[in-house]
Amino acid sequence: MSAVEAQDVEMVAAEEEVDETAKNALEADALVLADLKQNFALLERAVATIESRFITRVLRTIASIRKRLNANVLSQAIQLAFPRDSPDRSKLLDYLGKESGVMEVDFDEDTREQVPILPEIDFYLSLMVMIYLLDRQELEKGVQLANETTARLQTFSRRTLDQLSARIYFYYARFYELLGKLAEIRPILLAAQRTATLRHDDDCQATLLNLLLRNYFHYNLYDQADKLVSKATFPESAGNNQQARYMYYLGRIKAIQLDYTASHNHLLQAMRKAPQNTIAAGFQQAVYKLSIIVQLLMGEIPERSIFRQPVLRKPLIPYLHIVQAVRVGDLSNFQETLAKYSDVFRADKTFTLILRLRHNVIKTGIRMISLSYSRIHLRDICLKLHLDSEEDAEYIVAKAIRDGVIDATIDHEHGYMKSKENVDIYSTNEPQVAFHQRISFCLNLHNESVKAMRFPLNAHRKELASADALRERERELVKEIAEGEMDEDDDVADF
């Protein structure tokens, strides 16, 4: 084969490869467009039946559609759904950089012009365009579209728009967060949250409450966040994702307020309600980081299995070193770890809480010393804990005795600490408290499971109808037996 023939063969193969790639792209776009059409049908069905579960099904497909979305598919869906002379159609196409044109569709264009678009489909397409602009990092266009969409959204009061409204407000706040302008939208979010509360819109109410708390935490306004939580009521019917976020925010507030027990309980609920997959890996890491510090502040040591999970292993390395320093009561190791990973702790917003652990490190060291020595001089305590003077050691030991950390006495005359004998823990009420906590958790879990159960609407009416039919049949049989038309030995299997 000559060089020219070989070159021709390579060109033909390249053209075939290009054609195959283009064909696959067209097929993928057709599949995405078919999914969008199916979602349009589900939204129409949700409006017709006033059933929110169809809208839930539509929102669940956003994650899969988002990965395959492009401007061509979105423009086709917009031109397919909107009437030809709709101004909203032209606006959305402008955000995509497309021009409004005539398309070949499955039905007549003139028929589509006479049918107005449902608000649910309109806002769903606006939401998809917002997500597309967010993925493309076109933040200025996204903010402009988000402002227009939320302004139009406030003019509607339809229950079928509740879940879509919650998603739109979420991405609306996300655009402003990426631009560093969260403070600008705080009054708008507060007004929307107040309106959602008056309308008993649980989806928007839960989402907006979490967005406001995130807004306050971004600027370290924990007092305002605590006041908001005390004034507002989080809806019990909210989804698990929103409940997990809310519990995490409550845990942060309680941790700042030194209420570590309540904070730990909220964080445990956030862990259990969060999705147990890699999709929510970032949220899981944030919850576990805060939970580890809170457990240390409570005087407990987290389980080592937490640091072995694949999703948490690498992000929790700095916190593992902190746990090791606190567990052995090594103050110098604690200071070195704090200095080494200070940037990581500041980024995670746990640096202030970790600073409080210094006293816990000292208390742990004193507890271990009291368990190891029945009597020890204060000078030796000072050397083991790397304290400045014996007076500091005496003060810290006295405070640990007063707080109940250790059971010992101080001989001020001779300058030593004497530990008392260990007390049987079962003679105290600690086992009873532990069992009470476990029983309370099981009862709360049962109550939440019962509340989360779904039952078909008007199912009891069918049961009542069948019961009435059975009673009527029974009366007829009794009447027939009484009149002698039917013997008692006859077959009554149907009855």
Residues 382 and 430 in one domain: yes
Q: Per-residue pLDDT tens for 435-461?
A: 888 898 899 888 888 877 766 666 556
pLDDT at residue 248, rounded to an integer? 92
Residues 173 and 109 in one domain: yes
Asked if 416 and 378 count as a contact pair (C-beta separation under 8 A), the reply is: yes
State the Cα–Cα distance between residues 108 and 122, nearest whole angstrom: 20
Please give the backbone phi and psi of residue 187, each rounded to the nearest 5 degrees, phi first.
Answer: -60, -35
Asked if 184 and 203 count as a contact pair (C-beta separation under 8 A), the reply is: no
82 lies in some domain: yes
Where is pLDDT greater, at 104 or 77? 77
pLDDT at residue 116, rounded to an integer? 76
335 lies in some domain: no
304 lies in some domain: no
Residues 57 and 161 in one domain: yes
Task: Work out the pLDDT band at 491, boundaries 50, 70, 90.
Answer: very low
The total number of structural domains that make up the chain: 3
State the Cα–Cα distance between residues 128 and 2, nearest whole angstrom: 54
Is the per-residue pLDDT at 170 higher than 70? Answer: yes
Please give the backbone phi and psi of residue 129, each rounded to the nearest 5 degrees, phi first.
Answer: -65, -40
Please give the average per-residue pLDDT across 363-382, as a whole number.
72
Secondary structure of residue 415 in the 3-state scheme: coil
Is the per-residue pLDDT at 485 higher than 60? Answer: no
State the Cα–Cα distance between residues 265 and 280, nearest whole angstrom: 20
Residues 445 and 474 in one domain: no
Residues 363 and 473 in one domain: no
State the amino acid at position 166 in one-letter form.
A
Of the three residues 128, 153, 180, the one that is the final residue of a domain is 180
Where is pLDDT greater, at 309 or 393? 309
Q: Per-residue pLDDT tens for 288-312?
A: 999 999 988 887 888 888 888 888 8
The pairing of beta strand 408-411 with beta strand 375-377:
unpaired
Q: Per-residue pLDDT tens for 143-163?
A: 888 888 888 888 888 888 888
Tell me which residue of 358, 385, 356 sits closest to 369, measured CA to CA: 385
Tokens encoding 355: 């600073």
Residues 413 and 388 in one domain: yes
Task: Work out the pLDDT band at 490, boundaries 50, 70, 90.
Answer: very low
Residues 480 and 399 in one domain: no
State the amino acid at position 277 in one-letter form.
N
Q: Per-residue pLDDT tens for 56-73?
A: 888 888 888 888 888 888
pLDDT at residue 464, rounded to an integer? 65
Is the per-residue pLDDT at 481 higher than 80? Answer: no
Rounded mean pLDDT of the chain?
Answer: 79
The percent of residues above 90 in pLDDT, for the chain, comes to 5
Q: Which helix (H) or strand (E) holds 32?
A: helix 3-49
Task: Work out the pLDDT band at 253, boundaries 50, 70, 90.
Answer: very high
Please give the average per-residue pLDDT across 266-295, as a whole number.
86
Of the three residues 126, 152, 180, the one that is the final residue of a domain is 180
444 lies in some domain: yes
Task: Work out the pLDDT band at 252, boundaries 50, 70, 90.
Answer: very high
266 lies in some domain: no
Residues 478 and 407 in one domain: no
Is the per-residue pLDDT at 103 higher than 50? Answer: no
193 lies in some domain: no
Where is pLDDT greater, at 365 or 214? 214
Phi/psi region, residue 220 (left: phi>0; alpha: psi -120 to 50; beta: rest), is left
Of the three residues 180, 198, 228, the one that is the final residue of a domain is 180
> Which range, of 34-48, 124-138, 241-255, 393-407, averages the lowest pLDDT?
393-407
Residues 40 and 143 in one domain: yes
pLDDT at residue 251, rounded to an integer? 92
State the Cα–Cα distance between residues 354 and 331, nearest whole angstrom: 13
Where is pLDDT greater, at 278 or 347? 347
Where is pLDDT greater, at 5 or 256? 256
The percent of residues above 70 in pLDDT, for the chain, comes to 79
Is the per-residue pLDDT at 107 higher than 60? Answer: no
Q: What is the domain extent for residue 120?
A: 22-180
391 lies in some domain: yes
